[in-house]
Amino acid sequence: MMEIPSRKQIIEEIRDRGDRVAAVLPIHYPRALLRAYGICPVEIWGPPGVDPAAGNSHFQAYTCAIVRHATSLLVGPAAQSVDLILVPHTCDALQGMGSVLRDFIEPEQPVVTLYHPRGRRDSDKAFLVRELKRLAGELGEITGKNPGEAGLMKAIDIEEEATQLLADLCGDRKTFGLSDREFYALVRSREYLPAEQFIELARTVPKDGSGHSGVALMLSGIVPEPMDVFDRINEVGAWVIDDDLACGSRRAYIPTSGSDPFERLAESLLSMPPCPTVGSPISERARYLCDRMKASGARGMLVYDVKFCEPELFDLPLLREELDTAGIPLLHVEYEMGSAVSQQALTRIEAFVEMLQ
Ligand code: SF4
């Protein structure tokens, strides 16, 4: 497989060709809309290597590390390479971050938001279409561009092609001959690679999955950090056969058709698999996950979550109950966003894998 370029390399390439860079917070957002306005999204899911002190000063101690680390990053020198900040209303913590950025920190770059509906009714879709048009208006003012319907459609088509490849990868993990760490480095490159580059990389993945061994797990949560966690999981005799990660398969949106680009963008965003951050009913999510685990052959679910993630914690008790009824063991491990996986987390994961053997 080709080497995956780093975020830094990609940001430099984007700026060299005269496009704009948007720092985008998790999770769901209309990538194609940004692209149509000449803006390339580079997502921020922490990251672990940032000193959170600057972010800590703006939030309560029980705010998740993604918000505190991302805020630190955006008030530091790295923000100089960013032209715009997009904060979707994924959860109360990110809504708070959007307000802190706009009302207190007031960065040089414009800060735009996107509110998600919490249902799947026609009125929810109509609300999302209005939100997307409002966001498009703001992007037009910031960039001075108007891509028109044709420009939007073109951007949607290429982004949906890349999304389909991501869905194919996540949907059939066991057939791909990459280690867990390599595989999820590829999946996570969708966070910042332009669609064309992601498509090119995804098409080169070797299709020989015969080397996987150990206890097959489904990995759930927002984002697995640090990426060493995959090596540690392998070391204790397990591997990740499937995922329910917000940075992974929860963004396997379904391809759309039709002649109205805003309707397509809204339909796509509303087609994500069940996700606690958009208020999916827990029973629906549990059914979906049980079916997926049975189909993949996963023996247990490891929920590996950044500490203080409210939407994830809210689902957990009922999810555990439903999986328990279906005979599927679940282990929940919370982590601090740092450079190493804690010994305590490792011991619990090891004991869980032993129990499943
Ligand atoms: S980790 Fe959870 S609480 Fe934090 S930004 Fe993501 S969804 Fe929100």
* pLDDT tens per residue across span 285-332: 999 999 999 999 999 999 999 999 999 999 999 999 999 999 999 999
The closest-lying atom of ligand 1 relative to the alpha carbon of residue 97 is: 5
Average of per-residue pLDDT across 200-209: 90
| Cα of 224 from ligand 1 centre, angstroms | 13
Return the H-helix or E-strand segment holding 65.
helix 65-75
Please work out whether the CB of residue 296 comes within 6 Å of at least one atom of ligand 1: no
Q: Which residues are registered as beta bridge partners of 216?
A: 239
Distance 334 CA to ligand 1 centre (A): 13
The yes/no answer on whether domain 19-147 falls in CATH 3.40.50.11890 is yes
Q: Say if residue 28's pLDDT is above 80.
A: yes
Whether residue 275 is predicted with pLDDT greater than 90 in this model: the reply is yes
- Please state which CATH class domain 150-356 belongs to: alpha beta
Does 169 sit in the ligand 1 pocket, CB within 6 Å?
no
Nearest protein Cα to ligand 1, atom 2 = 309
Q: Judge if the beta carbon of residue 93 lies within 6 A of ligand 1.
A: yes
Q: Where in the chain is the domain with CATH 3.40.50.11900?
A: 150-356
Q: Is the CB of 91 under 6 A from ligand 1?
A: yes
The answer to whether residues 97 and 67 touch, using CB atoms and an 8 Å cutoff, is: yes
> Ligand 1: which of 309, 332, 335 to mutate, judged by most atoms within 8 Å of the beta carbon?
309
Alpha-carbon distance of 353 to 357, in angstroms, equals 6
3 state DSSP class of 249: helix
With 80 as the cut, is the pLDDT of residue 1 above it? Answer: no
Distance, in Å, from the CA atom of 109 to the CA atom of 23, rounded to the nearest integer, reads 10
Give φ, ψ of 41 to 5 degrees: -75, 135
Distance from Cα 309 to the centre of ligand 1, integer Å: 5
Distance CA 192, CA 6 (A): 9
**Model pTM score:** 0.96
Are 104 and 77 within 8 A, CB to CB? no
Q: Is the CB of 67 under 6 A from ligand 1?
A: yes
The whole-number pLDDT of residue 2 equals 72
Expressed in angstroms and rounded, the spacing between residue 64 Cα and the centre of ligand 1 is 6
Distance from residue 200's CA to the centre of ligand 1 (Å): 30
Ligand 1 within 6 A of 25 CB? no
Q: Is the CB of 156 under 6 A from ligand 1?
A: no
Are β-strands 20-24 and 39-43 bridged in parallel, bridged antiparallel, or unpaired?
parallel
Contact 267, 256 (CB under 8 A): yes
Q: Residues 327-348: pLDDT tens digits? A: 999 999 999 998 899 999 999 9
Q: Is the CB of 306 under 6 A from ligand 1?
A: yes
Which residues in the chain are classed under CATH 3.40.50.11890? 19-147
Residues in the chain: 357
Shortest-distance atom of ligand 1 to CA 92: 8
Nearest ligand 1 atom to alpha carbon 310: 3
Question: Model confidence over 238-274: pLDDT tens digits?
Answer: 999 999 999 999 999 999 999 999 999 999 999 999 9
Average pLDDT of the chain to the nearest whole number: 96
| The pLDDT of residue 209 | 78
> For the segment 211-248, what is each residue's pLDDT rounded down to a tens digit?
899 999 999 999 999 999 999 999 999 999 999 999 99
Q: Is the C-beta atom of 44 inside 6 A of ligand 1?
A: no
249 close to ligand 1 (CB < 6 Angstrom)? no
